[in-house]
Structure formats: structure tokens, C-alpha cells
Amino acid sequence: MVVTIEDLDQKGSGQAVVWRENELGNPKKLRLTIPQTLPGERVQVTVDQPDRRRRKAMPDEIVEAHSERIPAPCPHFDRCGGCVWQHWDYDGQLKQKTDHVKHALEEQGFNPDLVRDTMGMDNPWRYRNKMEFTFSPEGALGLHEQGNFRKVISLETCLIASEEMVEATMEVADWVRDHGLKGYNKDEHEGLLRHLMVRQSFVTGELMLGLFGTEAPENHQEAVDDLVARVGEKFPQVKSLLWLENTAWADRTQAEEIHLLAGRDFIYDEMDGYRFRLWFDTFFQTNPTQAQKLVDLAIEMGQPKKTEKMIDLFCGVGTFSLPFASRVGELAGIEIVESSIESAKRNAEDNGISNTTFLAKDARKGIDQMLESFGHPQLLMLDPPRSGAGGKVMRRIGRAKPERIVYVSCNPDTFATDIKELEPFGYTLDGVQPVDLFPQTVHVECVATLTLNK
């Protein structure tokens, strides 16, 4: 059938509706999800089981193409689930992201005109400083197939990771093949290698390689010795080579035991002139070029002053805390992950910052405790996960009544519902600046400020 793409879903796939008659002659709606299509396009698709209410199908042919459609440069685009918009001109991607933010705010009753145009990248490729690749049961290394987490696509390249990261990844893939090592079978819960994490600082150039395996490396000493030799010879910039034991059934990059094969267990990175130590599980912005813009915007829009106290909620390892701390009188960071708080303390010490206090606690309880010990903040910033801060935290912020709030968001929908909670407390949304940290994908970040009405 030939259908028209009406809009896109949250994963960036085209949506179309077809009306058909059921066996009684009554109209029946069929909703189609068609990846790699753009709004307004007419596409031909073959639908199995069209009597269902919802089906997913790849396009057989683009009958009428969008004016912004371009050839996808990556040879793996048709199957790989890493990028979904390589077929869309970058200016079109940015406009779609701006519209997404505007729509999310408009649904909550905010003025969409407060949203500026999305800030893009000069070069929207090779921007990621961290990638997590998966091993297939046969030992091939790659990324999951689009929409299928059971299938791994063996990769020859990856255009959103740095060239050095890709070269190191391909070397590990060759090493696995040379030694006949098996990957982990998720269905049978057997096999050796699960994931490869590659991390690089674009400032210091340091690389980290982390292999996640189900056994200790001593069980494969000859192969491990060869890996250490290969990496040492070909990649002197690898300052951390790790073997991370993970026997859990859950398919996550976690470690029960960490084995240091070469170098140290962390690498150094820098942002905004501050030095950070990054371990394998440290959360750090994966697009450092655009992350610097986030920091600059947060400072510009938040207008910190030396006479003020500030609370940084969901502070992580101090990515925003350290730049803000040099601009306010005192800063308190709150984060539920204890290892991140320890890193934040260490990062503050490494950078000679002494006006910070960090607390390992969940956001809502952490605010209460910090208000008692730290005092009333004039400025509050939050950078919550994709799920948002939630109503309880937002109402607690409202009751604390900071003069200004800076909200850094990675999900426009939860951002809009979160800030709606602040309206009864007398806050006005001043402006929203979307920033594209993930070109070729649907994701968009925002920096926004709200002011307490006096």
C-alpha cells in the first residue's frame, strides 16, 4: 500500500494511518510505524497482518520524498539502531527539535514563543566521547539492530564516535576474532564477552577501554596478555584498560569486580577549564562541544553573583557545580549516587575550589536537609534524568522560593510538566534555549530560567 507520513513518534519514526474495512464492512483503523521516513512523504510499504490495529514496516520505496531528505552517509544506517535521522538534512533536524520543545510547552499552557531556535553543531558528526558496543553470541562487535535488542549489527565504522575510538574498537574486534572468543548469549545466559565501553577526552586525548566479561580475566590470560600488548603498541593514548566482571542477568554495563589490565582506573577530562576524573561508570556529558554551550548558557541565563548561595540538584560529578562555584559565594550540590558525590568532592579539590558542599541524598530529602544546614539559596539549578524531577521535588523547590531557577533538561516533555508545578508558587518562565547534543537522533536538551515574581 502507499501511505502518507503524518507525523513522527518519540523515537523519530514516521506515523501513518490507513482505513480499511473489516469482515463486516465496518471501517477499521490501521496505525503504521515506518522508520526512516519524514513528515509529508508518500511511501510504499508491505504490511504483514494488516488486520491488526498497529504494525511496523520498513519502507519499500519513497514515492514522494521530503525536500530535506538526503542520502544517509553511514553504511550501517538501514539496520543499526544508533542513529535514526541520518536521512534528514541537519537544518531540518534542528527545526524538528525546536518544534518538539515548543509543542511540549504549549501542551502545558506555556507560550511557545519563549523557545529560541535550537543551537546546532558546526559539524554534527564524530561528536560522542563515549560509546557502548555489544558482542553477539558469535563474538562480533557492534550495536543493536533497530528495534531489536536480540540482534547485534557487526560494525565497520561509526560516524558519531571519534575516529580514534572507532580504531580502538576495531582492534578489540580483531583481537576477539583472532582468539576465537565468544560473546554473551542473552537467551542462554552463557558466553564470555558482553560489552565494550570506549571513552575519550577530546581535550586531553586520553582513552579508556572497558571490556565487560562474565569471568575473571585470569581464565583467559594468554588472550588478555595479547590484548594488553596490542593496545600498548598501537594506542599509547589508552591510559585505562579495564576488565569488568559482570555475571548479572540484567543486560547493563555494570561491574561486580574491576580488574585493571593497564594504566589507571580513570582518565582525565576537562570542561570549562576544570579538570575531571572519569571512571568507567561516571556520568559525564557525551558531547563535550555542546556540553560547553550548556554550561555557558546556564551561567549566562542564571546570572550567578558572588553574594549569593546556590544549590545544584542532580549535580553528578560537578559538571555545572565547579563553573558556578567560582561565580557564587557558596554552592551546595545534591546527588543520590554516592560515587558521583565522592567524585564531585575530589574534582572540587583537584581544581582548588573550597566553597562547595556535596551531599549524597535523593533530591527531595536532600533539599530539606540542605536548607537546614546550608541556608536559603538565591539561585537553584537542576539537571534531572530523562524521567524529570517529579512533582514532589518541584513543589519542594517552589516552597524553598529561590529567586531564580535554572533548569537543564534532556527531555522536553518531562521538563514542561515539571515547571508547570512551579506556577502556583509564583514563578514565571523567562526563556528556553534548546541545544542539540545528539545530532542524527531525536534527542534535544534545553536550558531554561524561571524567576520568582516579587
Just list the catalytic residues: 410
Query: Are 199 and 241 contacting, i.e. CB atoms less than 8 angstroms apart?
Result: no
Query: Are 239 and 208 contacting, i.e. CB atoms less than 8 angstroms apart?
Result: yes
Dist. CA 221–CA 241, nearest whole Å: 15
Dist. CA 257–CA 147, nearest whole Å: 31
Dist. CA 364–CA 358, nearest whole Å: 15
Q: Taking the mean position of all CA atoms in its chain, how far away is CA 136?
A: 23
Query: Are 153 and 141 contacting, i.e. CB atoms less than 8 angstroms apart?
Result: no
Beta bridge partners of 244: 212, 258
Q: 332-335 contacts: CB < 8 A, separation 24 or more? A: 332/356, 332/357, 332/358, 332/359, 332/370, 332/374, 332/377, 333/357, 333/358, 333/359, 334/358, 334/359, 334/361, 334/363, 334/366, 334/367, 334/370, 335/359, 335/360
Query: Are 196 and 132 contacting, i.e. CB atoms less than 8 angstroms apart?
Result: yes
Query: Are 29 and 53 contacting, i.e. CB atoms less than 8 angstroms apart?
Result: yes
| Total H helices, total E strands in the chain | 9, 23
